[in-house]
Structure 1
Amino acid sequence: MPGAAVYGELCLFVLAVIFTIAVIPPAYSNPVFTARPVNDTIPSHLENAAVAKKDTTGIIKDTSAPKQDTSISKTVKIDTVVVKYSKDTLSAPVKYHADDSVVLDIPEKTFHLYGKVNIDYDQINLKGAEVDYDQSTNLLKARYGLDTAGNHIGAPIFTQQGQQPFQSDSMLYDFKSKRGKIYSTVTQQGEGFIYSQQVKKEADGSFNSFKARYTTCDYNPPHFDFRANKVKIIPNKMLISGPANLEVEGVPTPLFIPFAIFPLTHGQRTGLLPPTYEVSQQKGIGLVNGGYYFGLGQYADLTVRGEVYSYGSWGLTFNPRYFKRYKYSGSLMLSISSTRFGDPETPDFTKSKDFRIMWSHSMDSKAHPGVTFSASVNAGTSTYSYYNLTDPAARLNNILSSSIAFSKTWPNNSPFNLTLSANHSQNTSTRQVSISLPNLSFNMNTIYPFQPKNFVGTPKWYEKIGIGYSLTETNAVNFADSTFLKPGFFKNFQTSIQHSVPISLTLP
């Protein structure tokens, strides 16, 4: 049938078109079939109007932050390159200097320094004439040099921070173990000196000395010393010795001690002051100069000493000192004593109680401009020197005197000045005492009250009138020392006051 054939061809054509639209991608699709949907219900006259009209529909912004891919950060690894140091590397840099030369032997890994060598390593300083260093063993050797006459020069000096230096003929030091050996050395520890044939330095900073001598004599060789085979030195703390023998002028004595402990301290330290042994024909057997030292801080200290004898005599001395730089300084000594001469059962027995006071004070002139204060006091009982002093010059001096003075000058060209003073004089032979206190002197320099401040031309006659003023007051007494502070003592003072008003006039 023709109609059926036409109908079948039409169906095949429609299926082919549908298949083409579904299979061909949009980029390559035919524009005839993609311009609008097949079943477009929008009229053509409204379609252009819709295109021309502005689209007021707001664009919705995508606020969702893009997610970071953490897989990258999780997989990134830090490159940790491990630098391997040589086994002979030191823990700190070494700074060195040599005036003459420095020789480096690379195959042997050694350094040789000549001429006034100076080496700094960590907290250690070494000076010497010649120094060798072996890098493979970290061993340093230092020794003295010889001048043209064959004399030793540039003896090695080993110094560790916070400790006293060691001077020697030669030394060895291991940088790694911080141990060393020092030969024929001398060092000052505290107030004493130590001479050693050989010294071993330990890693903890202590020193072991072999065949050592300890002395407080600063001569070389010393006049006396204690000689011991083994000595332990803990810097700034103590020296511990085994059996020691006392030598005088290099000659051994029969005096031996089983051990000894000497403190090695610096600066102000509070502690005991050991006494010394003394024998007196008048006072008997005694211990003298023993006491205690008090460190009172940066500006003051106090020393208390005492003495006691078998016959009953005793004495105490208080000696405070004070000092402040650029301000003032001074010291005070107060001594009291009770003396018993001889046997109480004999007629020549003597008993005396005495005292002596000495005070000195000075003030820096820059501390208080225009003000000065000074004191020099030396007073006491007349018999103190006879019973308590052994120095011939001090015992023969029979005059004691004191002076205290204060003065003030007003600034800004002021004409006024003031002086206050006190004086004392004492004769220990006649036992007469003279005291003058207080003494006052107030002065006004000449002024010209009628003269104008801004003076111009020839002055009038009355402008040349000058006026001054002076006030002097004294208060003195003379007495025997036995009447000091007895009833009626102050009634013996003689007081005088004097005023002076000088007036001057200069005429042509």
Structure 2
Amino acid sequence: MVIILIYFLFAGIGLEASEILLEHADRLETERKGERVYLYGSVSVKSGEIRIKSHTAKWDKSKRIIQFVQDVTIESPDYLIKSDGVLFDENKDIARTTQGRVLLEFKKRSGSASGNTGVLLKSDSIAIIIGNASFTSLDTTDSGKVKVNAESLSYDFSRSVGKAFRHTKMTLEDRDGKINLIMNCDSMVYFGEGESLYAYGNITLEKDTLNANSEFLKYYRKNENILMCGKPTVWGKTQEIRGDTILAVFVEGELKYGFVFKDAITTWQSDSLHPERLSTFEAESVYFTFVSGAPEKIHLFGTVRSKYYPVERDTATTSLNTVRSDSALLVFKEGKLDSIYFWGSARGEFMRTEKGKPDSLFYEARTISYAPEQEEVMLLGDSYVRYHDFELKSHRVEYNLDSYILKAYGFTAGDSVLGKPVVKQGNDEFFADHIDYNIKSGKGHMYYGKSSSGEAYYSGDIVARAEKGDFYIKGGRYTTCEINSPHYHFYSPKIKMIRSERLVAKGVVLYIKDLPVFALPYIVFSLQKTRHSGFLPVDIGNFARGERFIRNIGYYYAPGPYWDGKIALDYDELTGWLFKGSVRYALKDYFSGEISGSYKFESSEALTSEHKYARWDISLNHSQNISSTSYLGLRGNFVSDKNYFYDTRYTPEERMTSTLNSDLVFYKNFEHSSFTITFSREYNIGTNTTRENLPSIRFTRYQQTLFRSGWLKNLNLSYSGYFLKRHETNPLFNHWVTTQELGLSFPVNIEPYVNISPGVNICGYLYDSDKQGKYLPYYLTLSLNTNISTSIYGNIPVGILGIKTLRHILQPNINFSFQPPSKDYSNFYPVGGIAPYASRIKRLSY
């Protein structure tokens, strides 16, 4: 590659501030007493190291101006300037061409520049070529040719800085005349002996199949670096790179690597048949490498967002793969994308439309790799895949986008396998060591898989899934024990599981731990989630003290939507058989209820006799909506003896039950009031005591205004009445009490500033008797309260982040409460927790 240089107007073309010396002329004429001199024939004038020659010259000594005409040359040790006319102004130290085009030739370097007009600034050591300026030079590094065209060119000899202005075009040719690079820009600046080059404004580059544009370009000859700024873009036949800044590094004229800083975007056309499908990768920055002019690797850093269109084998199919991650790597082979890697919280979506039907697959992992040619995706580390209702979690997942085949594995850590595949589909969940699965057809295999359905757990050496969702299990095991080493399980060499319906096994053997107990020709277990008749799942095991048990041997019967029932029995070696059953019934919006119980028959032997007795418990619950505003509820719990729950229940909560509650409740709601009556009984099994409310009655009148209009229209009244008759085992607490509470409130709004809400509550208590034996004693309590509140609104102008105004509201509130103390309340019984006690209150809060 020809090095990107501009060898125009090289150093050393200066006029010294010396007196003008006339070296030769064939003939000389003077006038005005020698103030004006006419020179003819082979005129030669020297000023410092510069010698000016021409055919004729006119020298005005008073004005210190010399006009050179015909075959004019300005020569120095480094350059030669040719023109048909030159005007030299000694006062301004300026030489300017006046006739014909100007030609600048370099002596020490092979190169020349030309244009319509030339200007030489003697004091500033600057030469300028104006109008159709062009420069041509040979690059000594590879004998290539550099051409520059612009409206004007200049060179500062003191600083060795050359410039090109307006409509600048630079062309680099190799030794055979082939164009290697073309650059267009508004202006260009060249520094030193080819050390660096700056280009400004509307820059375009063309090299082989690559193109670029930017607003600013800087070229470093020593390092062969090109820096482009101002939203530069580099593109080829099928690829494009954009960013805030691009740095390209060349080695021996060949592009080797580069950087894209800030808002980096790389796009390419992955499918030549569909040029409108542009794959895109975006990141905060990009690092890329090239080999033989073709991309080798592209590294993306910081919030990577990708959109890739795979090459479709079927023209009726459209696919799009989008991924987000912290970083990414694109690897190319022979100019084609070979693989893509994503790191750090990578997550993606593969969308495919076939015959007009869209479909999507979602996936995420710590690392994602993608091979476009093979259409294979590999997820590594906390991998997750979701397709419709199919979900998979695993350490490693391999997925083929074309065949829809998915494989999942865990990883070995010492003696353990971690990150094993877990599949969830609908309400089913599966665990396995390895999974092969076609997510499109729903067929697949799970090796050493296990799953659960409700309270049932099953596993197998190989689990094959059919297209309809049925499973075929080889070397299968079924149990209702949830621990890893179950107390029992059913084993079958062949099991068929019809999804969400039933499990059928042939050649079944029941194992207690690892010991085979008995065999069955076949067995069927229900897996349905909805209500349906069938045998109950059996639970087999042993207690910590060694006794074995078998529970829940029974049947569930569901003849219709209105009622169902079940009956079962438990057996353990210590206490024997326990029968239990329940019936549920319901009619939507009308009533519902349940009756359940258990029965246990026991016997004990003495020396001379045998004692037989029955133990039992019964529970019932009934709820009925009599109308839209009334309700009736009934609850009852009964047991044969106080130790029954402890002897027959399995959970600590049930075994520690110490109270039995029964009650009957009626509730009625009116338009502005409500009525409740309750009959309840609480029996403590441990202490053999009872507590009964026969009955408790409550009537509530909701707050309502007393007047419809006038200044008293805000006066509100509320009322609550309560009656309780308590009967307990201890007759000391067998009393009744009634309370009547009246509330008055009068809220006043002083618009638009203040709200004032004063109120008073009066409560009266009436008992059947007090501790002194007084009949129908009563007591009154009084409480007063006042609340004062207001709202203050304000606006704060903000004017930042799109927020114009911030509104705030202050709501100060002051509350005052007063309640005189009770005088003599010690003579009253606290019936049901009700006592006419009131402490003195005087409180101000805000």
Confirm whether residue 385 of structure 1 aligns to residue 654 of structure 2: no
Letter in 1 for 2:609: D
Number of the residue aligned with 1:358: 619
Q: Offset at 1:240? A: 0.9
Aligned to 2:644, the other structure's residue is in SS state: helix
Aligned to 1:185: 449
The partner residue of 1:420 within 669, 674, 677 is 677
Structure 1's 435 and 406: CA in aligned 2 closer, same or farther, altered over 3 A?
A: same
**1:302 equivalenced with 2:546 (yes/no):** no
Partner of 1:217: 481
Please tell me whether the aligned partners of residues 435 and 478 of structure 1 are also in contact (alpha carbons under 8 angstroms). Answer: no
Q: Structure 1 CA distance, aligned partners of 2:422 and 2:702? A: 68
Cα displacement string for residues 140-161 of structure 1 (whole angstroms, at most 9, x for unaligned residues): 241236699999776445566x
SS of 1:269's equivalent? Answer: coil
The answer to whether 1:104 aligns with 2:372 is: yes
1:95 to 360, 370, 380: 360
Question: 1:227-266 maps to which residues of 2 (within 5 A)?
Answer: 227-235=491-499, 236-244=501-509, 246=511, 248=513, 252-266=514-528
Structure 2 residue corresponding to 1:403, chosen from 663, 669, 693: 663
For 1:179 and 1:467, the matched residues in 2 are separated by: 69
Aligned equivalent of 1:118, options 385, 398, 412: 385
Instruction: Report if aligned partners of 2:443, 2:465 keep a CA contact under 8 Å in 1.
Output: yes
Structure 1 residues 324 and 222 mapped into 2: Cα distance closer, same or farther (>3 Å)? farther
In 2, Cα distance between the equivalents of 1:172 and 1:386? 50
Question: Following TM superposition, by how much is the alpha carbon of 1:307 offset from its aligned partner in structure 2, in angstroms?
Answer: 7.7
Name which structure has the greater RCO, CA cutoff 8 Å, separation 6+.
1
Over 3 Å counting, the alpha-carbon distance change for 1:214 and 1:468 in structure 2 is: closer
Tell whether the 8 Å contact from 1:354 to 1:384 is kept in structure 2 after alignment. Answer: no
Cα shift at 1:253: 1.6
| CA distance 1:271–1:427, change in 2 (3 Å) | same
Matched AA of 2:397 = E
How far 1:377 moved relative to its partner?
2.8
Tell me the equivalent position of 2:583: 320
Distance 2:667 2:452 in 1: 47
| Count of aligned pairs | 378
Q: 1:130 aligns with which of 388, 397, 402?
A: 397
TM-score w.r.t. structure 2 length? 0.34
- 2: distance between equivalents of 1:243 and 1:302? 29
Are the aligned partners of 2:475 and 2:492 in contact in 1 as well (CA < 8 Å)? Answer: yes
1:446-485 paired onto structure 2 within 5 Å: 452=707, 454=709, 456=711, 472=723, 474=725
For 1:169 and 1:241, the matched residues in 2 are separated by: 25
TM-score normalized by the length of structure 1: 0.52
Larger mean CA deviation between 268-277 and 205-214 belongs to 268-277
Separation (CA, whole Å) in 2 of partners of 1:173 and 1:448: 69
Which AA in structure 2 matches 1:246?
Y
Which residue is 1:50 aligned to?
none
Question: CA, structure 1 residues 496+390, in 2 after alignment: closer, same or farther (shift >3 Å)?
Answer: closer
Query: 1: CA distance between counterparts of 2:427 and 2:653?
Result: 42
Partner of 1:441: 697
Q: After superposition, where does 1:467-506 map in structure 2 within 5 Å?
A: 472=723, 474=725
Secondary structure of the structure 1 residue equivalent to 2:428: coil
Aligned partner (choices 464, 480, 496) of residue 200 of structure 1 = 464
Instruction: Provide the C-alpha distance between the structure 2 equivalents of 1:257 and 1:425, rounded to a whole number of angstroms.
Output: 50
Question: CA 1:156 to 1:336, structure 2 compared with 1: closer, same or farther past 3 Å?
Answer: closer
**Higher strand proportion, which one?**
2
Q: Deviations over 1:23-82 (max 9, x none)?
A: xxxxxxxxxxxxxxxxxxxxxxxxxxxxxxxxxxxxxxxxxxxxxxxxxxxxxxxxxxxx
Contact 2:691–2:726 (8 Å) recurs in 1:
no
Among all aligned residue pairs of Structure 1 and Structure 2, give the percentage whose two residues are the same amino acid.
Answer: 19
Tell me how far apart the structure 1 counterparts of residues 539 and 424 of structure 2 sit (CA, whole Å): 35
Q: Where does residue 407 of structure 2 map in the other structure?
A: 142
Separation of aligned partners in 2, 1:499 and 1:221 = 62
Q: Residue 193 of structure 1: SS of its match in structure 2?
A: strand
> For residues 62-119 of structure 1, what are the alpha-carbon distances to aligned partners after superposition, in whole Å with 9 as ceiling and x for unaligned?
xxxxxxxxxxxxxxxxxxxxx9999xx99987633444343211xxx54334354536
CA distance in 2, matches of 1:396, 1:185: 40
Q: Which runs of 5+ in 2 are unaligned?
A: 1-313, 318-352, 542-548, 742-763, 765-778, 783-846
Give the gaps of 5 or more residues in structure 1: 1-82, 279-285, 458-462, 480-493
Give the corresponding residue for 1:45: none
Matches of 2:684 and 2:459 in 1, distance apart?
A: 51
